Amino acid sequence: MTYTSTRDKSVRVTSSEAITRGISADGGLFVPTNIPRLSADDLLQLSSMDYKGRAKEILSLYLTDFTPDEISACVDGAYAPGKFASDKIAPLVTLSDGVDILELWKGPTCAFKDMALQLLPYLLAVSASKAAQGRRIVILVATSGDTGKAALEGFKDVPDTQIMVFYPNEGVSPMQKLQMATQEGANVAVCAINGNFDDAQNGVKAIFTDKAVAEKLAARNLMFSSANSINWGRLVPQIVYYVSAYCDLIQENKIKNGDKINIVVPTGNFGNILAAYYAGEMGVPLNRLVCASNQNRVLTDFISTGVYDRRRDFYTTMSPSMDILISSNLERLLFLLTGQNDTLVREWMTSLSKDGVYDAGAALLAKMNVLFAGGFCDEAGTSALIKQVFTEKGYLCDTHTAVAVDVYNRYRAETGDETYAVIASTASPFKFCASVLGALDQKAAEGLDEFGMVRALEKLTGQVCPPQLADLNTKKVRFTQCCEQDEMEEAVLQSIAEL
């Protein structure tokens, strides 16, 4: 298996190189040159394995320059007993007839990012031993809230790595901010920026591709890599849980092997839903992939018109991890749907960065709409959904999951499509306490601080806040720095000098 770049398909690298570098030098994203297939028999075999067994099988199809022992060690380390609050790692919960919730937030930071970021440091260590020529790795992360914490937790005190995280100062929940500000570990740094997630992501991308900065790093025997979902090492662990969910549906007699399913994903950077697409291309029988957006509905519009237009107001919503106007991983889908047309992808991406818009045209739109459906849910709709689902079904959704459930409900009502559906649930409701509590009872949050709200939400719902969130108020705040977008490079160089 080799990997190429979405912006230059003459590029050929191994999986270790793709993971070590994070992003191609031409600014494109690494993608496998072909997608491995799972037959119905393979799926049946995987069904009899546990999550780790399934992960090992699937990773070995993509990471062909890893030895079986290396893959085993990575997976066993990432999903070791005690790291996830469920033996199943990513359990399915029935919401109603024909609708399951795939809970992806049982890991150490209570968001789905843990599914990949517990594994990525192991993958990167093996990759770097093959491809980094003895250089130590500096991980740069732009986060809309959850990636930052999950990456810090995954990489803390990992030998031969340093990690620096940038987050939008006004764009994350108080719990998310506190999770990052109190991060432990000797190799970590955290900095807020005055700007939104797109500013942070653009800043990080610019630092990555800056030759002068790269030379400064090389002089210290360091090199950059990325823990954002632009890194292939983030995506491949996410493919696993969609295949695994299909296997669980078979195992739990909810579907027959071969039955098609719908998958619904609350989407921001398009990484999670792209992993579902790959699972489908591998052979998981899919009927529709439903892409759910919040009020930042740039993807909903793209899926209905074929025009990607980021020239619009940016909203800070109660589902901050989806407050994104430049969905980086869409580039990978465009590359696949155009039959690996790197010239077109390059033109569109240049047009997006220069003019803020590109038109992918009717042919691509038609191809996309065979599988993808899109929808969005505004703030009032998100609150109403949280309350309705809790009242009627006793299930407590976080704000991101609520967007997905609402978009799915309307999709099903409009289309009459009753295909068995799996809705990705991406965070613990306790990460977004103020919004979730406020949705259930507007007055309940009045006058309470974040931890008062945690207790009120526990009392109101009878559910228990994960201890790693409940105990944050006892942790020491270590990081309070905030910089401008054009000061990010300096902040990185300074932190490298200090760490």
Ligand X SMILES: *Cc1c(COP(=O)(O)O)cnc(C)c1O
| Chain positions contacting ligand X, by CB under 6 A | 111-113, 146, 229, 266-272, 321-322, 400, 426-427
For residue 256, give the H/E element and its range.
none
SS3 category, 124: helix
Q: Smallest distance from the beta carbon of 267 to ligand X, in angstroms? A: 4
Q: Which residues of 109-126 are buried (b: 16+ CB within 10 A; e: fewer)?
A: bbbbbbbbbbbbbbbbbb
CB 372 within 8 A of CB 303: yes
Identify which of residues 118 and 267 has a Cβ nearer to ligand X in the complex.
Answer: 267
CB 224, min distance to ligand X, A: 21
Nearer to ligand X, 139 or 250 (CB): 139
Rounded to a whole number of angstroms, the minimum distance from the CB of residue 35 to ligand X is 19
Q: CA nearest 320: which of 447, 442, 193, 198?
A: 198
Query: Least distance from C-beta 276 to ligand X, angstroms?
Result: 10
Nearest to 329 by CA among 292, 400, 274: 274
| Gap between the Cα atoms of 358 and 352, Å rounded | 6
Residue 319 Cβ vs ligand X, minimum distance, rounded to whole Å: 7
User: By C-beta, is 11 or 280 nearer to ligand X?
Assistant: 280
Residue whose CB is less far from ligand X, 127 or 267: 267
Q: Which amino acid is at 157?
A: D
Q: Report the distance separating Cα 33 and Cα 14, nearest Å.
A: 11
* Comparison of 65 and 315: residue with beta carbon closer to ligand X: 315
Q: Which is nearer to ligand X, 235 or 445 (CB)?
A: 235
Q: Which is nearer to ligand X, 112 or 358 (CB)?
A: 112
Q: How far is the CB of 373 from ligand X (least distance, A)?
A: 16
Distance between CA atoms of residues 74 and 413, nearest Å? 43
Tokens for 26, please give them.
Answer: 């031409």
Nearest-angstrom CA–CA distance, 385 and 403: 8
Nearest to 76 by CA among 42, 109, 44, 123: 123
CB of 16 to ligand X, least distance (A): 23
Question: Which CB sits closer to ligand X, 223 or 236?
Answer: 236
How far, in Å, CA of 424 to CA of 102, rounded?
5
Residue 220 Cβ vs ligand X, minimum distance, rounded to whole Å: 31
Question: Hey, what are 135's tokens?
Answer: 């250089």
Distance CA(408)–CA(261), nearest Å, equals: 13
CB of 284 to ligand X, least distance (A): 18
* Smaller CB separation from ligand X, 349 or 403: 403
Rounded to the nearest whole angstrom, what is the least distance from the CB of residue 57 to ligand X in the complex? 23
The string of DSSP letters for 16-63 reads: HHHHHH-S-TTS--EEESS-----HHHHHHHHTS-HHHHHHHHHHHH-
Q: Which whole-number Å values give the CA distances from 333 to 11, 31, 139, 181, 330, in the listed order?
A: 18, 10, 25, 35, 5
Nearer to ligand X, 66 or 105 (CB): 105
CB closer to ligand X out of 332 and 400: 400
Q: How far apart, in whole angstroms, are the C-alpha atoms of residue 411 and residue 396?
A: 21
Report in angstroms how near the CB of residue 147 gets to ligand X at its nearest: 6
- Residue 202 or 257: the one with the smaller Cβ distance to ligand X is 202
For 201-214, give one letter per residue: b (16+ CB within 10 A) or e.
bbbbbebbeeeebb
Beta bridge partners of 225: 139
Please say which residue, 111 or 123, places its beta carbon nearer to ligand X: 111
Q: How far apart are CA 428 and CA 370, in angstroms?
A: 32
Three-state SS annotation for 312-346: CCCCCCCCHHHCCCCCCCHHHHHHHHCCCCHHHHH
Find the shortest distance in angstroms from Cβ 97 to ligand X: 25
Task: Give the nearest distance from C-beta 210 to ligand X in angstroms.
Answer: 24
d(Cα 275, Cα 159) in Å, to the nearest integer? Answer: 29
Q: Within 10 Å of residue 41's Cβ, how many Cβ atoms? A: 9
